[in-house]
Amino acid sequence: MSTAAPRLPGATTLGSGLVLAAVAAALLLAPLVLLMRRDPRAFPLLALFALPFRLPVSADGRTVNLLIPLYIVVSAGTLAHLLPRAQQALARQRSHHAGSAAPAPAATCPAGSRYGGADRWQRRLRALLTPRGLQWLLMGSVALYAVQALYSPDIAKAGENVAFFYLPFTLLFLLLRDVRWTRQLLLACLAVVVALAVIFAGIGFIEYGRKTLFLNPRVVAANQYDNYFRVNSLFFDPNVYGRFLALVMIALTAFVLWRSRRRDVIACVAVLAWLLAGLVTSFSQSSIAALLLGLAVLAAWRWELRATLYAAGALVALAVVIVLAAPSSLHFGLKGSGGSASNATSGRTKLIAGGLELFAERPLQGHGSGSFERSYKAHHLASGAQNATSASHTIPVTVAAEQGLLGLALYAALLVAAFTVLFSGAGRSPPRVAIAACFAALVLHTWTYADFLEDPLTWTLLGIGAALARARGGERCLATSSGS
């Protein structure tokens, strides 16, 4: 996930930083590949472990936080995945030269599945709502983003996103999709991310107690002007920190809801209380909203949809009343000196309005990938660095401004396919419901903060979710049949 920030004193230059990273990767790749070849479970465990860790690299006058540990794991996983296939290809080539090769039979669907009652367009639409269709929509999103970078006023930013985020995360998705997920492996991955979240929350408590941050001087400066102190632990942004904690809490809650052992439930509830306290110290309203949505999805799946909707509606109404009636001393930003919707949303309403103006200027193709910050400044929407940002903090608006209706249509299709794949047939499967609830929470968070395809969590959830959906069987023929 990319977070623009002032140059950090310890940040290396882009060239030297990448050289050091390449050297470290070269030293680590061989043992990691051997480990993954020996035990395929090593890749998903290491990938989940590496997800949160970002290293600052200075580029073009700003600091970019790159997921270098994740890049190393993905590179090793790719090599471990390709090596046996390369060996098989060489073996087939030798057999062919020896005259013993026979053409492989083509894979076919059961008779009658290709020509059903639906017409061709209906079959193609259903094809997009399968794990394979989701994969093609993701690839299409990356391809469109790369093409629209050609006319972007900030092609460096677009290239940075493609090279450091979209392409590595595509490999991450493909590798996780091909993992053979078992109950034991899923629980082991859950244990990894829960342990990380507990440690990160502990570091956040230290920051909150000392009123100092380990990373990101931009947040340090912001804390000097706010009436409350926000922590970000080892992340570079309190909202990114909050997003991680919220998703882990949703996954752990799913485990609790379907776990009957009292000792496990008590331990998990204690961990959830610890993580909730950590989330509160981040003061990330978007993360709390995401957490509530994820919990509502779990409640609807575990008990009853109608009752969950009633309860959620009542809570939303109560929250609105509290925010409107709350005194300025609670710092909601609606009352007191400078109170306004823009102040309450940390300037997001102005960014959204500016993004919509950019969209209105070029509704079809947008201003180009990665162009929001530069186009925002160029169109007198920001008088200075105060409102300068790399995104509108509302992903649909950012997509509209940068990629126009073309990008919006593909974004909407991707969401429809993702939710269909994750929820369809999930039933009472705790892992699939947990993944679906986490993804729903993440999407809401992207509507109130930023980073969708720029976040490895998106690709991780979709990769695991697609693998679990495919495990139901018959995915190859789902596109041409009426089944879901």
DSSP string, 293-361: HHHHHHHHHHS-HHHHHHHHHHHHHHHHHHHHH--GGG--SSSSTT-SHHHHTTTHHHHHHHHHHHHHH
Spatial CA neighbour of 293 closest among 121, 437, 154, 132: 437
Alpha-carbon span 404 to 18, nearest angstrom: 33
Residue 230: the pLDDT is 83
| Cβ(123)–Cβ(109) below 8 Å | no
Predicted confidence (pLDDT) at residue 322 exceeds the cutoff of 50: yes
Element (H, E) at 56: strand 55-59
What single-letter amino acid sits at 323?
A: V
Distances (CA, A) of 241 to 133, 190, 233, 346, 396: 31, 17, 7, 17, 22
Q: How confident is the model at residue 9 (pLDDT cuts 50, 70, 90)?
A: very low
Predicted confidence (pLDDT) at residue 325 exceeds the cutoff of 50: yes
Give the predicted TM-score (pTM) of the model: 0.82
* Mean pLDDT estimate for the chain: 80
Residue 317: the pLDDT is 77
Alpha-carbon span 413 to 400, nearest angstrom: 14
H helices then E strands: how many in the chain? 20, 3
What single-letter amino acid sits at 337?
A: S
pLDDT in tens, 148-157: 999 999 898 8
SS3 content of the chain, % helix, strand, coil (to 5): 70, 5, 30
Distances (CA, A) of 198 to 233, 271, 436: 11, 7, 23
Over range 59-88, report the average pLDDT.
83
Predicted confidence (pLDDT) at residue 170 exceeds the cutoff of 90: yes
Number of C-alpha atoms within 13 angstroms, CB side, residue 242? 26
How much of the chain, in percent, has pLDDT values that exceed 70?
A: 75
Residue 478: the pLDDT is 34
Under DSSP, is residue 33 helix (H, G, I), strand (E, B) or coil?
A: helix
- Alpha carbon 443 to its chain centroid, in Å, reads 8
Both tokens of 223, joined, read 């804390």
**Residues in the chain, overall count:** 484
Q: Which residue has 């342990």 as its token pair?
A: 195
Q: Looking at per-residue confidence, does 254 or 380 come out higher?
A: 254
Q: How confident is the model at residue 484 (pLDDT cuts 50, 70, 90)?
A: very low
Q: Which residue has 């073009």 as its token pair?
A: 60
pLDDT in tens, 95-112: 766 655 455 555 454 544
Helix crossing, 430-448 with 285-302: angle to 10°?
150
| Cβ(261)–Cβ(214) below 8 Å | no
Predicted confidence (pLDDT) at residue 467 exceeds the cutoff of 90: yes
Q: How confident is the model at residue 16 (pLDDT cuts 50, 70, 90)?
A: low
Q: How confident is the model at residue 315 (pLDDT cuts 50, 70, 90)?
A: confident
Alpha-carbon span 274 to 202, nearest angstrom: 9
Over range 155-177, report the average pLDDT.
94
| Cβ(138)–Cβ(414) below 8 Å | yes
Task: Give DSSP secondary structure letters for 255-304.
Answer: HHHT---HHHHHHHHHHHHHHHHHHHHHT-HHHHHHHHHHHHHHHHHHS-
Most confident of 223-232, 366-375, 408-417: 408-417
